[in-house]
Structures are given as structure tokens and as C-alpha cells.
Amino acid sequence: MPKFKDHTLRQYLDVLASLKPVPGGGSAAALTGAIGMALISMVANYSLGRNASKDTDHKIRNILKKSENIRKRLLNLVDLDAEAYLKVVKSRKGTPAARKAALRQARKIPAEVCRLCYTALDLTPLLVKKGNPYLISDVQCALEMLLAAFNSAMINVEINQ
């Protein structure tokens, strides 16, 4: 299976729009979350060194480290969701028990996307308060992306019941 995370944006969107089972909504949710996290990382990067307080800079560095870890995990989930869904498709020809197991596994990926997006929300208050003031709209955009990723992933958790 191709690694969608290594596709260009155009390639990913072309495959997403095509008549193929993957990537789908779960993969797109993970990618949306990763984009939100990239915005948080950008704001953190632009905010470092702009504060009189070394303590604030230390906290922003921690935000950056956490946001990058979450972003990388979400990007990996782009592919893991696609792999899990292909197993669901394959399980349709198998036993009810095999299908149930595939669905259970497929639920785990979007559930993790939800958890990561929820965790990421805690990274933003300090950036709003002490971050680069010219990038407040980027924090807001990041929050909207994370909310969209959370809601989209939750739909996938529910459909895979």
C-alpha cells in the first residue's frame, strides 16, 4: 500500500477524490489534525525569543516539542487509518467474527485522532496569551482544524461500531 503521508498534497487529494476505498474520511481527519498541529508549531516557533521571560520561552519550547510529537503521530495515522479500513473491506468476505475484529481495530485509529486533537487544545492558551500577537488568527485556525479533525474522527469511531 502506498504511504499517503509521503504523497504531495495534489497526489493525496487526487487519490482521495478517486474511486478507491482508501484514503477516506478517517485518513482525511488525521491529516486535518496534523495541519492544525503544524499551525500550532508555527506559532510556537515564531513566539520563541519574543518574551522577556525565560520561563515563558521554556514553556513555549515544551509546547513546540509536544505539538511536533502530536503532528508526527497524526501524520502516521493518515496511513494507519487507510490500512485499518482495507482490513475492514477484506473482512466483508469473512466471518462475522472477523468483520467484528476488523471494525474494532478500525475504531482505534480515529479514537486516537480524537484523543490527540483533544490533548492539543491544551497547548494553545499560552500561545494566545504570550505568543506572537500577529499569529492569533493562526491559533484560531489551528483550533478549527483540530475541532474538524476531532468531529470527523468521531464519526468514524461511531460508524465502525
- 60 falls in which pLDDT band (50, 70, 90)? very high
Task: Report which DSSP code applies to 8.
Answer: -
- 29 falls in which pLDDT band (50, 70, 90)? very high
Fold type of domain 22-159:
Four Helix Bundle (Hemerythrin (Met), subunit A) (1.20.120)
Query: In the predicted model, what is the mean pLDDT of the chain?
Result: 95
Q: Write down the pLDDT at residue 161.
A: 85
Domain ranges of the chain: 22-159
Closest C-alpha to 74, from 118, 30, 119, 114: 30
Alpha helix positions (H), 18-53: 25-47
pLDDT by residue (tens digit) across 68-97? 999 999 999 999 999 999 999 999 999 999
